Amino acid sequence: MRLTAVQSNLPDQLREIAALDRKACVERWTTVFESPPPKYLSVCFMQRVLARERQIRTLGGYTAQVRRALRAANPTEHSRDRPSRTAPPGSWLVREWNGRTYRLEVTSSDYVLDGKTYRSLSTVARRITGAHWSGPRFFGLTPKRAT
């Protein structure tokens, strides 16, 4: 593989970034990202981000396929801590609304209410209330937001 002139100059550019002081890092960051860096970023961190940005602009970033594989291989901490938004098949969801109790059966792919099959909880919530609701929220599968 033959390197272009810009690619062969990359090591020099990375060494230049590694030698930047705080003021120069802030100036370069502002130029590259078109906004100043967050107030308390360390010089080392700014240098690493600027170096990575230079590499991406010179060599290109990850392909969409690689990004998908990385996301699948390493789910974020946030998504692991989040409670499940679905109930397991065979369970029943019960919700009282305007004096009536609704019993919803959860199957492997659908939800059954009053003998009629629905594909999503939000559709069932809309059927019950007449308004758009988040189905998982309506049936208590997601926690209320902190106040």
Helix pair 22-33, 43-59: axis angle to 10 deg: 40
Q: What is the pLDDT of residues 29-58, one digit of tens each?
A: 999 999 999 888 899 999 999 999 999 888
Q: Is 29 helix (H, G, I), strand (E, B) or coil?
A: helix
What are the domain boundaries of the chain? 5-73, 92-138
Name the amino acid, one letter, at 131.
A
Task: Please give the residue that has the higher pLDDT: either 34 or 7.
Answer: 34
Task: Please give the residue that has the higher pLDDT: either 56 or 74.
Answer: 56
Q: What is the pLDDT of residues 62-71, one digit of tens each?
A: 888 888 888 8
Indicate the pLDDT class of residue 6, thresholds 50, 70 and 90: low
Task: Give the pLDDT mean for 109-137.
Answer: 91
Entry pTM: 0.45
Task: Give the pLDDT mean for 56-84.
Answer: 74
C-alpha span between 127 and 130 (Å, rounded): 6
pLDDT at 80 over 60: no
